[in-house]
Structure 1
Amino acid sequence: MNSNGSASKLAKVICLGEILFDLLANQIGKSMEEVDSWTAYPGGAPANVACALVKLGTPAAFIGCVGKDTEGDELVKLLETVGVDVSGVQHSQDAPTRQVYVVRSTKGDRTFAGFGDRQPDKFADAYLQADKLPPKLFLDAEFLVIGTLELAYPQTRAAVFRALELAEEYHLKVILDVNWRGMFWQDESEALPLINQLWEYVDFLKLADEEARWLFDTADAGAIYYRLDSVEGVLVSNGDAEVSYCLSDNEGFVTPFKIEVEDTTGAGDAFLAGFIHQICQKGIKSLNDRAVAQEVVTYACAVGGLTATKSGAISAQPLLTEVESFLQQNSSAL
């Protein structure tokens, strides 16, 4: 149970996908071959989002699959300690919990460098079972958050589309964070047709600048919003460069706060959590107000920025009070 008691509340947001250990290089600016020691940090985009939401005060659940191993137990225990609902977590008998090697540049940017000696599909998160998804979680939730990594593996792909069916049945809004990671795919050419199948389900779309250009030939959120013609919001982030957004017809840009970056791992996930927390607080209809739309994205930038000031995707995430304090201190920058 966490300090704000979120574990006892029904999850408003379900985050479905991978949970894993990021093995961050201890030597900065070195290639994978040159690194001689690594530090394990809990991660995985959907798990990061779930934890960041709970820390901000929005109850969240995580659905994913871990191995029946020490690493899997540790990750589930972490989620429970933070206050995330883990009733949808599955355990694979045959595959281990995923670990991914991450090298870091001198600027704090990170690059995924592989899975060691295992193939991408030989980890537990590739084996999430569609028939074991708990409909009860969907009964009370308001949002479902998914990524595209899970589309790389047949069983987990089926679970994603089952979750989308449940979201439709129980009237959840679907949020897609593209979070493209080519190294997770056996055959990258399969990705685009599968991602294109998601558009009919998606209500809010978050992309990095390069993902937007890859999928839509533009990084302009408004252009993507009108091209899809079925979403309620699009966010396009670009590291420390300005965020392009289009929310309920309100288009604009927000420049992220200037901060001292230590590690960008999970900053985009925290940004997304900040956005979702705000729409849970204010209601989706509030995005019709131009000033509110800008406020919500500014808040998301604060959550993402604060996360980049420390190492580790989850341990670095700010609490609600820290975000509020940061925004007060930086009000002149707004």
Structure 2
Amino acid sequence: MSDSAPQVLCLGEALVDRLGPLGCDPALAAPVDCDDRLGGAPANVACALARLGTPVAFIGRLGADDIGNNFQEMLGNRGVDLRGLQIDPQRPSRVVLVRRDSTGERVFQGFAGDRGEGFADQALNQTTLDPIWCALAAEACWLLIGTIPLATEASAATLRSAVSQAERDGVRIAIDVNWRPTFWDPSADPLAGPPPQALALMQPFLEKAGLIKLAKEEAEWLFSSSDPSEISASLPQQPDVLVTDGGHPVRWFLAGHKGSMTVLAPSQIVDTTGAGDAFTAGLLHQLVKLTPSTGQPLQLSAAVVEQLVRYAAACGALVCSGAGAIDPQPLPSMVVEFLEQLES
């Protein structure tokens, strides 16, 4: 564990991504042909931040099983603060079946390991978190959340409590929407948008966030627009907004500046799982250094904003060059070298 107090808190799911062979169904493939990788968006971001050098804590719940043990070892080795990690004695850690096409693009299509009581991440416990919140948040400037905890009553209640405490303590809220219909309904079409009930649950959090990251389709589902400035203007707090679109340009409205940038790409794409999480981590890593402690809006020039996004994009690109969401995450020196190569 890092000796420094966490500056970012990442709350949500930690799980295993079971990657099927390219072009094959992981539910039908032999286990020996699948590639199990530790993942989950908040856990991915925590690991990426730690590798970049930002003190970070992970708040989540895992089973008392091999996956939970592996996560504790991996997170601990990365230097992630684990005081917010809960271990569930009954429910297992979640295994997500990930189907990849021939280009590495993926679809989350179901789960494995449920013994009838659901998964540990669904039972994230508010009572367990409350006594340690103040210690975790003492020097934090960002709380990163997603929407998956809202799919289950217990984890949703814990998320609401954490966001309320963050607001009280002056910790800014960053949301990576990360819409995954399978987590809400295992029988749902993996490509379906959020139903009205899910949209209603998300809305209060969107209205509290200082930073919102969305994929283009998520932006259109939630706001009927993929223009970051329009999305920001539609919310009462007018947050900073970034919209990603796979291999198409990323667009932003950040610190009052609009912009777009062509996506950066590694020499070879192996797996896109976790690229968006690495992007988020790269952005937060930079913002931690620039976030005012007074709660005032970011005061950055357009040129600095573009540099922030470019750094984040480099983090996302480098993750695509390896399998899984965590193992390929770059060190700061790797990001700098990658950007210098692009400029040469």
TM-score range, shorter chain: over 0.9
CA distance in 1, matches of 2:128, 2:24: 42
Matched, 1:283 2:291: yes
In 1, are the aligned partners of 2:4 and 2:55 still within 8 Å (CA)?
yes
Query: Which of the residues 13, 16, 35 maps onto 2:29?
Result: 35
In 2, are the aligned partners of 1:242 and 1:255 still within 8 Å (CA)?
yes
Matched, 1:112 2:108: yes
CA distance in 1, matches of 2:290, 2:142: 14
Gap change, CA 1:70 and 1:299, over 3 Å in 2: same
Query: Which of the residues 300, 323, 329 maps onto 1:317?
Result: 329
Q: CA deviation at 1:46?
A: 0.1
Counterpart secondary structure, 1:108:
coil
Letter in 2 for 1:294: E
- Aligned residues with identical type, % of pairs: 39
Matched, 1:233 2:245: no
CA distance in 2, matches of 1:119, 1:310: 32
In 1, are the aligned partners of 2:26 and 2:34 still within 8 Å (CA)?
no
Matched, 1:264 2:260: no
Gap change, CA 1:33 and 1:313, over 3 Å in 2: closer
Counterpart secondary structure, 1:97:
coil
Question: Could you say which residue in structure 1 is the equivalent of 2:191?
Answer: none
Counterpart secondary structure, 1:87:
coil
Query: TM-score, normalised to structure 1's length?
Result: 0.93
Question: Could you say which residue in structure 2 is the equivalent of 1:294?
Answer: 306
Counterpart secondary structure, 1:312:
coil
Mean CA deviation greater in 204-213 or 190-199: 190-199
Gap change, CA 1:115 and 1:234, over 3 Å in 2: same
In 2, are the aligned partners of 1:138 and 1:166 still within 8 Å (CA)?
no
Q: CA deviation at 1:331?
A: 2.1
Question: Could you say which residue in structure 2 is the equivalent of 1:177?
Answer: 176
CA distance in 1, matches of 2:104, 2:155: 32
Gap change, CA 1:35 and 1:14, over 3 Å in 2: same
Q: CA deviation at 1:77?
A: 1.2
Which residues of structure 1 form unaligned runs of 5+?
Answer: 2-6
Q: How does 1:80-119 map to 2 (within 5 A)?
A: 80-116=76-112, 118=114
Question: Could you say which residue in structure 1 is the equivalent of 2:18?
Answer: 23
Q: How does 1:1-334 map to 2 (within 5 A)?
A: 7-25=2-20, 27-32=21-26, 34-36=28-30, 37-116=33-112, 118=114, 122-133=118-129, 134-135=132-133, 136-186=135-185, 189=195, 190-259=197-266, 260-283=268-291, 287-331=299-343
Mean CA deviation greater in 49-58 or 224-233: 224-233
Letter in 1 for 2:119: F
CA distance in 2, matches of 1:168, 1:258: 37
CA RMSD of aligned residues (A): 1.7
Q: CA deviation at 1:18?
A: 0.2
Counterpart secondary structure, 1:122:
coil
Letter in 2 for 1:42: L
Question: Could you say which residue in structure 2 is the equivalent of 1:4?
Answer: none
In 1, are the aligned partners of 2:175 and 2:213 still within 8 Å (CA)?
yes
In 2, are the aligned partners of 1:58 and 1:277 still within 8 Å (CA)?
yes
Letter in 2 for 1:157: A
Q: CA deviation at 1:194?
A: 0.3
Counterpart secondary structure, 1:140:
coil
Which residues of structure 2 form unaligned runs of 5+?
Answer: 189-193
Q: CA deviation at 1:286?
A: 5.7
Counterpart secondary structure, 1:115:
strand
Q: CA deviation at 1:298?
A: 0.8
1:34-78 CA-to-partner distances (Å, cap 9, x unmatched) read: 533311100000000001001111110000000111211111111
In 2, are the aligned partners of 1:17 and 1:46 still within 8 Å (CA)?
yes
Q: CA deviation at 1:200?
A: 2.6
Letter in 2 for 1:311: A
CA distance in 2, matches of 1:256, 1:98: 31
1:137-178 CA-to-partner distances (Å, cap 9, x unmatched) read: 012211000000000011100110110111012100100000
Mean CA deviation greater in 148-157 or 134-143: 134-143
CA distance in 1, matches of 2:145, 2:116: 19
Letter in 1 for 2:278: A
CA distance in 2, matches of 1:111, 1:159: 28
CA distance in 1, matches of 2:309, 2:247: 14
In 2, are the aligned partners of 1:271 and 1:304 still within 8 Å (CA)?
yes
CA distance in 1, matches of 2:92, 2:73: 16
In 2, are the aligned partners of 1:121 and 1:153 still within 8 Å (CA)?
no
Gap change, CA 1:182 and 1:33, over 3 Å in 2: same
CA distance in 2, matches of 1:66, 1:176: 22
